[in-house]
Structure 1
Amino acid sequence: MGEMTQDDLREGLVRAMARAGVGEPSALHRLTGGATMESWRFTAGGEDYVLRRAPSLAFMEGRPFGHATEAAVIRAAHGAGVTAPEVVTVLEDSDGIGSGFVMRALPGTPDPKAILAMEQPDRILAEVARDLARIHSLGREDVPPEIPELDYRDGIENLRQQFEEAGGDRPMIALGLRWLMDHVPDRVESVLGHGDYRLGNILCEDSHLTGVLDWELAHFGDPHEDLAFGCMPVWRFARYDRPALGLGSLEDYFAVYEAESGRTVDPARFRFWSVYRTVWWALGCLRMADFWRRGEDRMLERVVISRRTSEQELDLLLLLEEDAPEAERNRAIDDPMEMNPALHGEAQMDEIVIAVSEWLSSIKHKLEGHDRFQLAVARNALGIVEREHRHFTIHDDRSAALKVLRGEMNLRTPGFLAECRRGVWSKLREDSPKYPSLQAALAQWPMEEEE
């Protein structure tokens, strides 16, 4: 199904839209983005629609519910006043184009850069908080029975199993898992959570929220989980200085949410779910490479996202290092960069990679839509290869990770925090040197004086 042509999709949409009483689709084109699902925009009957579709049936395996259930959740949210899209039809086997559903297109852009540049981010933040409170108002009776509920300890155990399947050799992720096991909060009354509530999954126009998208991770659980996930540094994009979704302050975000929901935000629970979801996304990034290796989806973006694991390792360290003794926090670290010797003679790997990247840049103007997006991803991938060849790489350590998981080594262990800092700095220098958290970390970490 992943190799399905655009003509195949159009034929399947003809059947699906006829079932919804709408005319034949035209102007079908792939939208950019989407780490797991595909989105295709088209016109039918004089209106615009979006097809949300799995790139392969393998992507639906092991998921707690399918697209028909996701569509039902979106309809319930729409009915509760959430700015969710209107679902017009769910794909059937007879359509021949796999698993998915069609929504009426909403105005606005999902581009975080464009949203963060809008004139009134505080107004967007207030509307985001309002919608989240409305999502959390939905009960079991409002959605299909197969929507799962997250048991906190089961969730941590699932993350631990994912860690082992991914090699179990990342001490930073092990540190997060150990912390979660040691700090599980008491259960609270469950609410329906969106599961992926952040920039990238909302639409905005003229400083207003116009849509809430991507409901595939909806589940019942602690409301703090949704609150924390959208505030992770990775989803603030260029605005690390605005902790609430890159749009404003946590105080403003919580104030509107509390007024709309009638709940009080607990800082300790917010921190727990910040750690939980950072570990969750670190492991999610690692899994992207496995999807590619197994052939479930050979999209270039999968391998590049897998290298964003180091971003989450740094954010995890910044969340946890405040628990370390003052002496360890004040221990100086040295710059981990070790350059290869000066190059002579024939072109080396990093030079070849740079040359290919420069050529790709020269044809950027000839591409548009998803192809242009993929070209940018390709250049990011080449940048990772070039930097890894040029810099000394600190390899992951399964022995250290096991000691951390067993509680035999932690941030109180002399020198371990400094080692973690140096390790994540080294990885990010290769994977994502412009990641905003890195600049914030380097500004607060004590450094050894150069001789």
Structure 2
Amino acid sequence: MQTGLEQACARLGLGTPDEAKRLTGGATMESWRFNAGGKDYVLRRAPSMAFMTERPFGHATEAAIIEAARKKGVTAPRIAGVLEESDGLGSGFIMEALPGTPDPRAIQSMDAPRQILVEAAGDLARIHSLGAGDLPDDVPVMEYAEAVANLRQQFEDAGGDRPIIALGLRWLMDNLPGPVEPVLNHGDFRLGNLLAEDSHLTGVLDWELAHFGDWHEDLAFGCMAVWRFGGYQHPALGLGSLEDYFSAYEGAGGRTVDPARFRFWTVYRTVWWALGCLKMASYWRSGEDRMLERVVISRRTSEQELDLLLLLEEDAPEDERGQSIAAPEAPKAQGEATSGEIATAISEWLATIKDRMEGHDRFQLAVARNALGMIARDDALMPVEGDAELAEALLQGEIDLASPGLLAELREMAFAKLSADVPKYPSLAVARRQWIGDD
């Protein structure tokens, strides 16, 4: 790694780099920070070349998109150079490091989060002003029906046994909007990919999903419950209200926001991310990337299933929405230690060595403890994993949320699974209030 980085920096005239340190986070790509010639840089690269095979464009195009956005006034980093095969680092590029933190909760706790929201809306409007002439030819254009069909194929490839995802796919097929003039979408515009400092936006990162499409998709993605990072009551990027976000976006030159299209893309991206999480396990199984985080992210599918049901259940008849469910209860353990109790014991021991770890190793230790918690709760709650027959009936439209008792069954399924996977996920508390009546 270090030898290749030294070679790349020499080729790009950046000076000799110090030892690169792996940054935490990143569901697909790796980020490494280093200093060279008195400046801080970030190397962004794929963990393996296999990760690039399904992507519509490579890192050279991503770097060109970032540079084009920066020239339009977007707070994007300056690209120092793209990796070459001779560098021996795989696929990636080097960019100048920007000030600020990407930590969502740190950003949310700044003095003026609404100011960050307004500045983010302005950057998004500038991104959407980029035209095809500003960018490389291989930036894809989304065709809505094809995109939904691709999600359906991913669902089938993953086993086709998740009823709530099937319900979402059916809804997408039934509510496909008409085309609009496409704009450049960042594709991953949300907390976690934004930098901020002193209540100001300082950077927009992670452009690997950029494409031309409906501007509502970009607006909706960052407003999903999963990307509010605990700020559930602030639906716009976890920072403020949708009214303020839309007003700031339109005021900065963005297109008019249509609530119906915004809802469609919120549902679409929730299904998209549910399937994206599910696919992480296949990366690990195939050996493409054996990082622990892959298998843990795969279990976050249940977050999206519950969020998807919360989004869609408003279409159900009132008498179906009024039915409550019972929270799952763990049986009292007796005799020798269960598998779940052993997992808990290991997790407690790992907590005792946390202070000896730093950087990415400390982050991975936290991921390991999350994984052990999932095993322990699985052992106690024994949630149902899937139901292919029910999923197929929903996908074919043979039953829907008007079918007596179906919504209650899906609620129980989603609640039990998420209670085992991520019990602290904020939407679970919302579901508990709405579905069970507990505070």
- Give, in angstroms, the shift of residue 22 of structure 1: 1.6
- The superposition leaves residues 371-428 of structure 1 with CA deviations (integer Å, 9 ceiling, x where unpaired) of 0000000000000000000113223100000000110011000000000111100001
Where do residues 175-324 of structure 1 align in structure 2 (5 Å cutoff)? 175-324=167-316
1:325 aligned onto 2:317: yes
Give me the whole-angstrom Cα distance separating, in 2, the residues matched to 1:236 and 1:447. Answer: 23
**Where does residue 439 of structure 1 map in the other structure?**
429
Post-superposition shift, 1:447? 5.3
Query: Is residue 13 from structure 1 mapped to residue 2 from structure 2 by the alignment?
Result: no
Question: Per-residue deviation at 1:446?
Answer: 5.0
**Do structure 1's residue 340 and structure 2's residue 331 form an aligned pair?**
yes
2:148 maps to 156
Q: For the residues of structure 2 that align with 1:445 and 1:348, how far apart are their CA atoms?
A: 31
Alignment check: 8 A CA contact 2:9 2:16 kept = yes
Task: Check whether the contact 2:56–2:139 (CA below 8 A) recurs between aligned residues.
Answer: yes
Unmatched runs of 5 consecutive residues or more in structure 2: none
Deviation digits for residues 235-277 of structure 1 (CA, Å, limit 9, x no counterpart)? 0011100000100000000000011124210000000000000
Q: Which amino acid aligns with 2:234?
A: R
- After TM superposition, list the pairs within 5 Å mapping 1:30-429 onto structure 2: 30-337=22-329, 339-344=330-335, 346-429=336-419
Contact 2:76 2:204 in 1 (8 A): yes
TM-score for the superposition, normalised by structure 2: 0.98
| Partner amino acid, structure 1, of 2:223 | C
Q: Aligned-pair distance for 1:187?
A: 0.5
Q: CA deviation at 1:341?
A: 4.1
Offset, 1:442? 1.5
Following the alignment from structure 1 to structure 2, what is the Cα–Cα distance between the partners of residues 154 and 342?
A: 50
1:13 shift after superposition: 1.4
Instruction: Letter of the 1:362 partner, please give it.
Output: T
Shift of 1:354: 1.1
1:108-156 deviations in Å (ceiling 9; x for gaps): 0111111111110000000000000000000000000000011000000
Residue type at the aligned position of 2:258: D
In structure 1, runs of 5+ residues without a counterpart are 1-8
Secondary structure of the structure 2 residue equivalent to 1:39: strand
Aligned partners of 1:336 and 1:360: how far apart in 2? 28
* CA distance in 2: counterparts of 1:54 and 1:335, whole angstroms: 41
Is the CA contact (8 Å cut-off) linking 1:334 and 1:447 kept in structure 2? no
Q: Equivalents in 2 of 1:351, 1:407: separation in Å?
A: 42
Shift of 1:335: 2.3
What is the CA RMSD across the aligned residues, in angstroms?
Answer: 1.0
Structure 2 counterpart of 1:368, one-letter code: E
Aligned partners of 1:94, 1:213: CA distance in 2, in Å?
26
Does the aligned pair in 1 maintain the 2:128–2:254 contact within 8 Å? no
Q: Percent of pairs identical after alignment?
A: 67
**Does the 8 A contact of 1:330 with 1:446 survive in 2?**
no
Task: Tell me the residue number matched to 1:28.
Answer: 20
How many angstroms does 1:316 deviate by? 0.4
SS at match of 1:34: coil
Displacement, 1:45? 0.3
Return the offset for 1:336: 2.9
**Length, aligned pairs only:** 438
Deviation at 1:445, TM superposition (A): 2.0
Query: Quick one: distance in 2 between partners of 1:447 and 1:107?
Result: 45
